[in-house]
A and B are shown apart, each in its own frame.
Chain A
Amino acid sequence: MTGYAIRRAGQAVIVVLGVTAVTFLLEHLIPGNLARAILGGRASPAEIAAFNHANGLDHPLVQQYLVFLGHLARGNLGYSYRYDQSVDSLIIHQLPNDVLVVGCGLVLALAIAIPLGVAQAVHRSRAVDHVATTAVFALYSMPSYWLGLLLAGLVISLRAQRALPPEVPSQAGSIGGLLADPRALVLPVLTLTLVNIALFSRYMRAAAIETLAQDYVQVARAKGLPASLVLSRHVLRNSLLSVTTLVGLSFPAILTSGLVVEYVFNVPGLALTYYTAAVNADYPVELGVTVLVGVVTVLGNLLADIAYAVLDPRVRYG
């Protein structure tokens, strides 16, 4: 178990280093150079040289990368020239909003998708299963913003904008502002919940079908355990196992829909900041957020794998 965890963590470290290297190279892919991108087209050569010197851009690439890594290790993600603020402070200010919205969407989706998967497996190939499969298939084929737009359009055509505002008011900057009027959060969270259900549900159904066919489930039934107990003790708990891996692997997809949904509903989170940074060519913010997203994904995968090994003795001793 410890050996497995160490090996897995070693892989994660390599991948994190790779992610930082890719991001670092991207910064240097910017045509012309960073100085011109930030100081503008009319900057004199002297100004550019001064900027390059001040930011260590006149050193060899390898040395710059090591400096970049050193900054990252100390939690320094860069400096936004547009906001005249460190990327860290931007992130700290807005990350709670993302955690709230994306987290609620994820937890609600799991709370629905897991029991739904078990129910579908139990009533396999009957009307309930077919209806659920079709609905999930349709949801799965919809880009997340389209689903968001449909929900917003529905609210507008029902004239229910007051009860369910289709847009978060732009003055709600921090998490306090968001929670002051939680009605505006209903649509983004609902959209993310549906998107994530579509992502998880088929796997949950497949996992539950596989569990139902296991010998221990047959034994539990044969010894006369009530169906509800068989499902909750044996089937549901084993479905939870595959959820850990699935959530870990789905991190990029979850964050992508988070980005899009924040944009559609004007949720003041990191994703919206990323979008604004991209519009304004605020490269340090873009790259800082990209590194953060990459590291969060790798850590999510790592935690999921280790949690799986802890929960499932077959992996531990296998």
Chain B
Amino acid sequence: MADSPLVRAFARNRLGVLGVAIILAMAFCCFLGPLVYHTDQVRANIQITNLPPGRGHPLGTDDNGYDVLGRLLLGGQNSLEIGFAVAVLATTLGAAWGAVSGFTGGLADAVMMRVVDIGLAIPAIFLLIFLSSVVRPTAGLLIIVISLLSWLVPARLVRGEALSLRTREFVQAARMMGSTRLRAVAVHLIPNTLGTIVVSATFQVADAIILLATLSFLSFGLPPPAVTWGGMLAQGTTYLSDGYWWQVYPAGLAIVITVIAFNLAGDALRDALDARLQRR
């Protein structure tokens, strides 16, 4: 995977490099920033509520007197952690499901793909809202549930590739030489779909961050004291007509910039893989 033509093709795409740079900078700031920039995000301070940006509070304070910049950093930790975890879990599950389904074919394939269709028929946000109205969500629970709702698209993509790969000579040869089905899938199929899988995982992070932010915005995300970008946005919206712009726009921009960065990186990665395939 990390052969140099791919890296070179990727590096030539300036927008993709920008995307990766933004992701790294974002992760760096969110996880190391709070070590340098100390703020109290636990105890409310009613003496400094709704302060505009200025000395001591570069992005002002919210209606509880929390520092907005400090909150952004903490919210970023949640978004990135959950986004990455969902991408890994959902893509692994989806890739395994799709590879087995496409490789096996026949009735098993039909049944496994109907399961995917059923999952795709119900928009994830409706199920997530329902579940959050039933149980109090935690980070771990959200990761599992969002993953269980997000593996469907990678499953379809990998199945498509598996369908065409299984008829290829090298897979046939391996089967002929007595390789078991499981081994054929694990050794020959999955590595050849790795490109699709990695690209899909990159977009998964972006989608998970949007889904999480939407859920928090609708106040069905992580309950307080957890800080989320969507939650900050929901809280700030109340003051939109009061002109407290610093409670709305920074959180919204943080979501949009992160999602743009992952989409840029994903697009560039896909183009780089395409370019590599074309050169062969």
Residues in A lying within 8 Å of B, measured CB to CB = 11, 14-16, 18-19, 22-23, 26, 29-31, 137-138, 140-146, 149-150, 152-153, 156, 252-253, 255-256, 259-260, 263, 274-275, 278-279, 281, 283, 286-287, 289-290, 293-294, 297-298, 301
Contacts and interface: CB of A to CB of B under 8 A. Distances in A.
Contact of B121 (A19, A156, A263): A19
Contacts of B165: none
Given A141-B206, A153-B248, A256 B125 contact: yes
Contacts of A16: 121
Given A143-B217, A146-B255, A290-B130, A15 B240 contact: no
A143 B245 CA distance: 18
B274 interface: no
Interface string B235-262: 0010011000100110010011001100
Chain B interface residue bracket vs A = 35 or more
Contacts of B218: 260, 263, 275
B263 interface: yes
A30 B263 contact: no
A288 to B, nearest CB: 11
Interface in B175-191: none
A245 to B, nearest CB: 14
B256 A142 contact: yes
A156 B117 contact: no
A289 B210 CA distance: 23
Interface string B115-130: 1011011111111011
B134 interface: yes
Contact of A140 (B123, B252, B263): B263
A22 B233 contact: no
Interface string B143-173: 0000000000000000000000000000000
B125 A259 contact: yes
A144 B218 CA distance: 12
B118 A278 contact: no
A297 B237 CA distance: 31
* Interface pairs A-B: 10 shortest CB-CB: A18-B118, A252-B123, A278-B133, A141-B260, A141-B259, A294-B121, A297-B121, A15-B117, A294-B122, A256-B123
B122 A293 contact: yes
A286 B123 contact: no
B240 A31 contact: no
Contacts of B237: 149
B103 interface: no
B203 to A, nearest CB: 11
Q: Is the interface of B mostly helix, strand, loop or mixed?
A: helix
Given A19-B121, A297-B122, A281 B133 contact: yes
A47 to B, nearest CB: 21
10 contacts: A11-B114, A15-B117, A19-B121, A143-B256, A146-B255, A150-B252, A156-B240, A260-B125, A278-B129, A293-B122
B41 interface: no
Interface in B191-242: 206, 210, 213-214, 217-218, 220, 230, 233, 237, 240-241
B125 A26 contact: no
Given A30-B134, A278-B220, A149 B118 contact: no
B126 A293 contact: yes
Nearest to A138: B260
Contacts of A281: 133-134
Contacts of A274: 126, 129
Nearest to A142: B256
A298 B121 contact: yes
B130 A22 contact: no
A173 B217 CA distance: 24
Task: Determine which residue in B121, B249, B259 has the highest number of CB atoms from chain A within 10 A of its CB, and name it.
Answer: B121
A15 B134 contact: no
A145 B214 contact: yes
Contacts of B241: 156
B13 interface: no
A278 B248 contact: no
B135 interface: yes
A82 B230 CA distance: 29
B121 A153 contact: no
B132 interface: yes
B16 to A, nearest CB: 13
B172 to A, nearest CB: 26
A143 B214 contact: yes
A153 B256 contact: no
A301 B248 CA distance: 37
Contacts of B134: 29-31, 281, 283
Nearest to A287: B130
A15 B252 contact: no
A150 B220 CA distance: 22
Contact of B130 (A15, A142, A278): A278
Contacts of A145: 214, 217, 233
A22 B252 CA distance: 34
Nearest to B253: A146
B213 A143 contact: yes
Given A137-B260, A278-B129, A286-B133, A15 B114 contact: yes
Contact of B126 (A14, A30, A289): A289
